[in-house]
Chain A
Amino acid sequence: MQTQPDGLIAELQAKNPKAFERIYDRYSESTFGVINSVLKDKHLAEEVLQDVFVKIWNNAESYNSSKGRFFTWVLNIARNAAIDKTRSKAYKNKQKNLKAEYFVDIIEEKNSFSNKIDAIGIQKYINVLKPYCKKIINLLYFQGFTQAEASEELEMPLGTLKTRNRNCMNKLREILTN
């Protein structure tokens, strides 16, 4: 398990190019996955990923650890940029398969995994997740819905959403550690 690299983040904020490289190494692949799950298009995702890391470099000093996690800060930049892209002409011109829990399909169809993750575990067990888990994780994590928006979208009371999401995440963690 990795802890938040606070020292590295401070160096990034001081515009250290080496620090940027290490931040990229650490966060780029998962960020790429988030963007790809929103856009469902590899080439557009490549474009957006580059824009996102340029933003991370330019706006690093606006990250404040007392407001939230660096992970979440990067996630927000990535989701916003990806969602912005879905409104672009380039995106609209490509007829998208708008299936809701696209991240599941991507993971299942994927052939090559980097050694950073337990690929076999994920691919084998991703479908063990309950359908509502896939929906909840898709909306709250990949699509960046707020609790209220997700609860409305799924017609699920806020309390239920919160506990179910907790259970789903526990299940996911179980899959990944086994």
Chain B
Amino acid sequence: MDLEQYISSGILELYVYGALTEEESIKVSTELKKHPEILKEVEEIEDALTQLSTAAAPYNPETLLKNIQQKITSNPTKVVEHPAKSKKNNVVLYISWAASIALLIGLISVINQRNELRENINAVSATNTKLEEQISNAKNDAEKTKQLLEVFRDKDIITVPLDGQQVAPEAYAAIHWNEKTNQVYVDAKELPTPPEGKEYQVWSLTLEPLTPTSIGLLSNFTEDENKIFILENANSSQAFGITLEPKGGSETPTMEQLYTLGVIKAS
């Protein structure tokens, strides 16, 4: 090796700076041990740099040594930092694994709980809907009852009892007619349940000559609990009758199936 060329290449300055790669640096270190000329050159470079950077120091930091010595002695554990570090890493690794697994278990249980809660919520909300429906029905019923009460108390109401006729002597109905509003309340509680395919039809009658006018059907008779039906009547009625007709009603009443009949008493 041409030592002079090696030295003048500038590699040794870079070596001292720490600007070479680790491999290059190891190579120079080897050469340095073989060749005193190289070592001498390196030491001269170090010396120059030491002087240069010493000149850049604010002052000689002799007084700081005591602080540093205190830090060193108060931290004796750091002396064995390297072996301790790997052990610590293992412990940290175990702890991290344990923590991860605990977290996973925790997560699964949270998910399960969440699903359970969601089912509960669904069930509760179904019950809720049912209750709401019941409340709303009850409210409707109450409303209707209240309305009916008002009807019966109204002095403008004409009440007409309809007595049972030949086909059904036991039958009874009542009509409460508000002439002002044209509303007719048919109380059909005492009418027998109509057979399949048949419906009651309510007629307004004028006598002399007898002229029947349909004012409506008592639809959904079996489902209606209080059996009070609200119909419209704009006729100047003199009597009311209820006949049993095929579902959907008839044009004219079937007189053989006249269940109840009542005449408005002249007031």
Contacts and interface: CB of A to CB of B under 8 A. Distances in A.
A57 B29 CA distance: 23
B229 interface: no
Contact of B49 (A29, A49, A118, A141): A141
A20 B72 contact: yes
Interface residues of A, number: 71
B58 A45 contact: yes
Contacts of A4: 43, 46
B29 A113 contact: no
A32 interface: yes
Which of B17, B51, B62, B69 counts the most chain A CB atoms within 10 A?
A: B17
A54 B19 contact: no
The secondary-structure label for the interface of chain B is helix
A28 B45 CA distance: 18
A112 interface: yes
Given A34-B56, A36-B57, A67-B22, A15 B10 contact: no
A28 B54 CA distance: 9
Given A29-B57, A59-B81, 19 more contacts: A3-B43, A17-B72, A29-B60, A30-B51, A30-B53, A31-B53, A33-B53, A33-B54, A33-B56, A36-B58, A54-B68, A54-B72, A58-B72, A69-B15, A72-B18, A107-B55, A140-B17, A144-B18, A169-B45
A123 interface: yes
Give 3 closest A-B pairs by Cβ, nearest first. Answer: A166-B10, A33-B56, A33-B53
B61 A58 contact: no
Contacts of A169: 13, 45, 48
B236 interface: no
B58 A71 contact: no
B56 A107 contact: yes
A21 interface: yes
A117 interface: yes
A142 B58 CA distance: 15
A54 B81 CA distance: 12
Contacts of B72: 17, 20, 54, 57-58
B35 interface: no
B253 to A, nearest CB: 101
Interface of A: 1-4, 15, 17, 20-21, 24-25, 28-34, 36-37, 42, 45-46, 49-50, 53-54, 57-59, 61-62, 65-69, 71-72, 75-76, 103, 106-107, 110, 112-114, 116-119, 122-123, 126, 137, 140-142, 144-147, 150, 162-163, 165-166, 169, 172-173, 176
Given A15-B79, A166-B9, A30 B18 contact: no
Interface string B14-32: 1111111010011011100
B65 interface: yes
B9 to A, nearest CB: 7
A110 B58 CA distance: 7
Contacts of B153: none
9 contacts: A4-B46, A30-B57, A32-B58, A61-B82, A69-B15, A107-B56, A110-B55, A116-B51, A165-B10
Contacts of B10: 162-163, 165-166
B139 to A, nearest CB: 68
B207 interface: no
A26 to B, nearest CB: 9
Interface string B49-89: 11111111111111011011101100100110110000000
Given A50-B64, A54-B72, A30 B42 contact: no
Contacts of B156: none
Contacts of B11: 162
Contacts of B48: 169, 172-173, 176
Contact of B51 (A75, A117, A142, A150): A117
Given A147-B19, A165-B14, A116 B54 contact: yes
B18 A76 contact: yes
Which of B25, B43, B50, B69 counts the most chain A CB atoms within 10 A?
A: B50
B71 to A, nearest CB: 5
A145 B9 CA distance: 19
